């Protein structure tokens, strides 16, 4: 047995649980333990990834007839590569939080929950038993709740909403696991193969799919994410909704599609494609009109999940590989974007776009990192987001190719249009962000601003560099991580041609030529520079600020969209609020039934007896 698999799970879990009881006055100890736990987990993840053979660990706990409960851990190329990056993100966020500290009264809860998140994620990725996968899954859910609450009293509602919505999906997960055990007779993931030819199998697939897409943040159970993003600390959003939740949710969806179920029903792939396409368009349309940086990034985190789900829905090698690669790329650039947003908030004291501007020369490192990540998420070559989106597009084209027998193949133009249009809208949104934060005029009351600590810049820099490397040299991560994880022969998935090195050379050459022309123009210019004035009066600095928040105001005021945006702000489409309204109505109905009046109770007794006699007594 390979006991090394226990360490990245239980060392962070034990240390995190212990940290919850360490007094808040011992903050240096909190930081030391979280950094040490993250380093140990990351180092062992590297060792597990480079191990030449499949590792496994088993510990039988309980056996009653056909029911077996045991801690079964197992590696595979998919699990090992996802563990490597999950622990890597945990380490980078731990480094970032050494300076981006939580509020003093919640230090122990923040750092303890961070370690619980790292350990729970490792447990999810290494578990080969559905019951223990569910247990570790719940640990991550509870950790998310605790982490959000560390943002202060204003985060209580966001934490409760997140816990309620993910908890609902986890209940679906539990029910789905029970149905799978009934059909397969085992909880061991590597031994399960259920064909979706029966109603029970389809129900189990839909239940597990609900858990996966809710954790990843896709429609319709997505509204917990922007609510949390608006109030929770940026480091919390970077570690969970931006990176680990996406990894875990898409990991579960991949093993559902490829390991646990055999999709005999083509309608299920159409359902996935519909969810993916709708998620891309709806979330990015809402993101365009947001004024809070973290809330805007949260909606984009939702939108990008659509590409992952759509790629997997194509059921083609290039599409699935593109979806998984986009999951990895998204975790990289979205984590970077949230860290940049956190740096801006720490330096300025606000995350509202209306109150920001002119930070490009005050926070140059943050600006460059944010710009690279923004171009990556927008699918601009030669960055990593372009490659994975390009592969998803190819998967959709392959889905609709002549000779394909897939259900819904005739709808491929719809899926492709949604994906490409969503990418264009994403670029438009980040033009607004870059302008509002870095390129517009700096407000007069925000002049004393400087770059954040180096400990916060290092994770942002590492992630920005990965955005470039995984785009220019995309074949390396594909051949090293993605293709082995999905058992795809290198060179057989992608059917298009993209010479990233040559394209990068042309792009750099064009930028250099453009820069040279600009420099020549500035040197040759002989005009004098004066302050802006109107009607003989020097204009105030704040009067000349062009707010980026108004860039797409016309969209929100268009005929049909205006009402939809208004209803969205009123939470008409929020299942959490809808469920709350229905629950309140049902509670009032029960209160009305229990009025305390004897005639009312006698009426219900008589009606109950009539129903029983009608159903069982056949009195008619």
pLDDT (mean) for 484-497: 82
Question: Of 150-159, 304-313, 548-557, which has the strongest mean pLDDT?
Answer: 304-313
Question: Of 343-357, 390-404, 440-454, which has the strongest mean pLDDT?
Answer: 343-357
What value does the mean pLDDT of the chain take? 86
Beta bridge partners of 324: none
Q: What is the pLDDT of residue 359?
A: 87
Residue carrying the six token digits 């090195």: 501
- Label the pairing between strands 533-534 and 537-538: antiparallel
Q: How far apart are the first and last CA of the chain?
A: 67
Structure tokens at 372: 């690279």
pLDDT (mean) for 139-146: 92
Sequential DSSP letters for 161-176: HHHHHHHHHHHHHHHH
pLDDT (mean) for 288-316: 90
562 pLDDT higher than 60? yes
542 pLDDT higher than 70? no
550 pLDDT higher than 80? no
Q: What is the pLDDT of residue 596?
A: 72
Of 124-138, 145-159, 584-598, the range with the lowest mean pLDDT is: 584-598
Q: Quick check: pTM over 0.85?
A: yes
Question: Which has more pLDDT, 266 or 179?
Answer: 179
Q: What is the pLDDT of residue 403?
A: 54
Q: What is the pLDDT of residue 41?
A: 94
315 Rama class: left (phi>0) / alpha (psi -120 to 50) / beta: left
Please give the Cα distance from 92 to 490 (Å, whole number): 30
119 pLDDT higher than 80? yes
551 pLDDT higher than 80? no
Number of Cβ atoms within 10 Å of the Cβ of 259: 16
Residue carrying the six token digits 């690669």: 325
Contact 307, 326 (CB under 8 A): yes
Question: Which has more pLDDT, 405 or 450?
Answer: 450
Residue carrying the six token digits 């469920």: 579
Please give the Cα distance from 151 to 163 (Å, whole number): 15
Question: What confidence tier does 577 reach under pLDDT thresholds 50, 70, 90?
Answer: confident
400 pLDDT higher than 60? yes
619 pLDDT higher than 80? no
Q: What is the pLDDT of residue 75?
A: 92
Contact 113, 38 (CB under 8 A): no
Query: In Å, how far from its chain's centre is CA 353?
Result: 22
Contact 338, 297 (CB under 8 A): yes
497 pLDDT higher than 80? no
Convert the pLDDT of each residue in 66-92 to its tens digit.
Answer: 677 788 999 999 999 999 999 999 999
Q: Where are the beta strands (DSSP E) in 253-386?
A: 261-262
Question: What confidence tier does 543 reach under pLDDT thresholds 50, 70, 90?
Answer: low
DSSP 8-state secondary structure symbol assigned to residue 548 = G
pLDDT (mean) for 7-11: 93
Phi, psi of 548 (to 5 degrees): -75, -15
Q: What is the pLDDT of residue 150?
A: 85
For the chain, give the number of residues: 620
pLDDT (mean) for 134-152: 90
pLDDT (mean) for 510-531: 82
Convert the pLDDT of each residue in 17-74 to its tens digit.
Answer: 999 888 888 888 888 899 999 999 999 999 999 988 888 988 887 777 667 778 899 9
Q: What is the pLDDT of residue 374?
A: 95
Percentage above 70 pLDDT, the chain: 92
Question: What confidence tier does 1 reach under pLDDT thresholds 50, 70, 90?
Answer: low
Q: Any residues with CB less than 8 A from the CB of 278 and at least 6 apart, and which?
A: 219, 306, 418
- Stated as kind and residue range, the H or E segment containing 178 is helix 156-184
Contact 73, 51 (CB under 8 A): no
Please give the Cα distance from 202 to 271 (Å, whole number): 12
Q: What is the pLDDT of residue 368?
A: 94
Beta bridge partners of 129: 188
Question: What confidence tier does 548 reach under pLDDT thresholds 50, 70, 90?
Answer: low
pLDDT (mean) for 195-210: 91
507 pLDDT higher than 80? yes
């Amino acid at each position: 047995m390979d006991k090394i698999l226990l360490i990245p799970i239980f060392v962070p879990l034990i240390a995190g649980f212990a940290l919850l009881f360490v007094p808040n006055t011992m903050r240096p100890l909190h930081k030391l333990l979280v950094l040490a736990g993250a380093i140990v987990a990351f180092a062992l993840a590297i060792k597990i990834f480079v191990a030449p053979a499949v590792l496994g660990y088993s510990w039988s706990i309980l056996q009653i007839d056909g029911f077996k409960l045991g801690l079964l851990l197992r590696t595979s190329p998919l699990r090992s590569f996802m563990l490597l990056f999950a622990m890597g993100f945990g380490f980078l966020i731990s480094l970032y939080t050494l300076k981006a500290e939580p509020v003093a009264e919640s230090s122990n809860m923040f750092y303890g929950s961070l370690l619980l998140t790292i350990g729970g994620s490792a447990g999810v990725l290494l578990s080969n038993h559905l019951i223990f996968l569910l247990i570790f899954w719940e640990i991550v859910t509870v950790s998310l709740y605790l982490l959000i609450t560390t943002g202060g009293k204003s985060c209580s509602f966001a934490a409760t909403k997140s816990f309620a919505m993910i908890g609902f999906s986890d209940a679906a997960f539990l029910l789905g696991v029970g149905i799978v055990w009934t059909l397969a007779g085992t909880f061991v993931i590597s031994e399960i193969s259920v064909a979706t030819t029966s109603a029970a199998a389809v129900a189990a697939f839909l239940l597990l799919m609900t858990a996966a897409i809710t954790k990843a943040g896709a429609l319709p159970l997505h509204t917990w994410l922007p609510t949390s993003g608006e109030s929770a600390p940026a480091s919390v959003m970077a570690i969970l909704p931006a990176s680990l939740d996406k990894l875990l949710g898409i990991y579960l969806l991949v093993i559902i599609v490829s390991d646990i179920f055999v999709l005999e029903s083509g309608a299920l792939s159409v359902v996935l494609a519909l969810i993916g396409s709708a998620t891309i368009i709806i979330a990015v349309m809402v993101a365009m009109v947001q004024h809070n940086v973290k809330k805007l990034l949260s909606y984009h985190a939702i939108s990008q999940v659509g590409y992952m789900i759509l790629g997997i829905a194509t059921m083609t090698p290039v599409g699935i590989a593109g979806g998984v690669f986009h999951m990895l790329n998204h975790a990289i650039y979205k984590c970077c974007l949230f860290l940049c947003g956190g740096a801006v908030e720490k330096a300025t004291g606000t995350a509202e776009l209306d109150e920001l501007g002119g930070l490009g020369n005050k926070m140059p490192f943050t600006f460059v990192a944010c710009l690279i990540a923004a171009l990556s998420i927008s699918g601009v070559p030669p960055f990593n987001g372009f490659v994975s989106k390009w592969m998803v597009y190819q998967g959709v084209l392959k889905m609709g190719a002549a000779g394909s027998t897939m259900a819904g193949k005739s709808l491929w133009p719809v899926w492709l249009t949604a994906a490409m249009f969503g990418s264009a809208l994403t670029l438009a949104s980040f033009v607004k962000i870059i302008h509002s934060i870095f390129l517009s005029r700096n407000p007069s009351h925000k002049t004393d601003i400087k770059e954040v600590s180096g400990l916060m810049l290092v994770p942002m820099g590492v992630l920005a560099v990965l955005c470039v490397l995984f785009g220019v040299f995309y074949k390396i991560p594909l051949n090293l991580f993605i293709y082995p994880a999905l058992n795809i022969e290198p060179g057989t998935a992608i059917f298009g041609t993209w010479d990233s090195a040559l394209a990068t050379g042309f792009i750099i050459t064009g930028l250099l030529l453009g820069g040279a022309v600009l420099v020549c123009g500035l040197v040759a210019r002989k005009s004098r520079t004066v302050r802006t004035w109107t009607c003989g009066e020097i204009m105030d600095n704040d009067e000349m600020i062009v707010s980026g928040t108004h860039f797409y105001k016309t969209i929100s005021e268009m005929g049909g969209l205006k009402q939809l945006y208004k209803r969205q702000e009123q939470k008409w489409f929020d299942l959490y609020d809808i469920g709350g309204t229905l629950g309140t109505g049902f509670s009032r109905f029960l209160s009305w039934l229990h009025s305390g009046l004897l005639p009312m109770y006698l009426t219900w007794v008589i009606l109950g007896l009539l129903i029983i006699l009608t159903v069982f007594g056949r009195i008619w």
